[in-house]
Amino acid sequence: MLCEVGIVPVVAGYSSQVMRDMIMNTWVAVIITLVIAMAGAARGTAQTSANVIVPLSIGNYWIYEVTLNDTANTVVETRYDTVAVVSDTMVNSVHWFCLNKGTWVRNTVEGYYYKPLPQWSEQLVVPYPAVYADEFNIDTVHITRDSLNGEPDTLQVGYRVVSTNATITVPEGTYTCYDYKPGIWQMSGLEIAASIPDRAQYWFAPQTGLIQQKSVILLNEVPHTVVYRLAEVNLESP
């Protein structure tokens, strides 16, 4: 199962501080990967089907208000980011859409898939349809510790659906959203009694796309929250 958030991990064979550093370093790398992938989802997800989490047609675009907030939740910087579907192509008879950020996306009956280049392997990053408490594996991360003679421990990284009807209000309007939270599963070699702090959360509205995204980054070793909020959307007819 996914670890609960907000508690320091305790793993057999490690001191609490060493384990904290290992997990946090791993988690930062994981979040970077997930944010890139989910940013692709924000930047134009949706195919020519009514039942998709993000509609994909050339000409679709999403404009986000992006704020950087300090620990007191004070906004210290605001900018805007535009995500657009700019082209499409067929790769091995599969229809893919290209975003202005240079990534490739498509929808299937399992959800939204992403890959950074057409020739790379695809990855499911937004499972849909989904139900409350569903858990989905995204990636596997290995950590090696000397006490196991170099044999790697394994962390399984994925998402938990924490809500299917969250009400989210952003500059563009109010939406009923699926709420996805990334996390780490207990896996081989690890006895995780708790988890790392909350680092990211994503809200998607079916037939619209990414509505809001929150992720924590470190600036000069001080945590800051980056928030994407939908400010404008244009969806072309399929």
The tens digit of pLDDT for each residue in 122-131 reads: 888 888 998 9
- In the chain, the amino acid numbered 160 is R
Residue 105 lies in a domain: yes
pLDDT at 26 over 60: no
Backbone φ, ψ for residue 27 (5° rounding): -65, -40
Domain residues for the domain of 183 are 16-234
Residue 39 lies in a domain: yes
Q: Using 50, 70 and 90 to split pLDDT, how confident is the model at 95?
A: very high
Q: Give pLDDT, residue 238.
A: 66
Token couple for 160:
């938990």
Give the CATH number for residue 101. 2.40.360
Looking at per-residue confidence, does 220 or 76 come out higher?
Answer: 76
Residues, the chain, total?
238
Q: Using 50, 70 and 90 to split pLDDT, how confident is the model at 196?
A: very low
Residue 4 lies in a domain: no
Query: Mean pLDDT throughout 98-107?
Result: 92
Q: What percent of the chain has pLDDT over 70?
A: 63
pLDDT at 55 over 60: yes
Average pLDDT over the chain, rounded to whole?
A: 74
- In the chain, the amino acid numbered 3 is C
Residue 11 lies in a domain: no
pTM, two decimals, is 0.72
Structure confidence by residue, pLDDT tens digits, 199-223: 789 999 999 999 999 998 888 889 9
Q: Give pLDDT, residue 155.
A: 62
Residues 6+ apart with CB under 8 A from 236: 57, 58, 59, 60
Residue 5 lies in a domain: no
pLDDT at 178 over 80: yes
Give the chain's domain count.
1
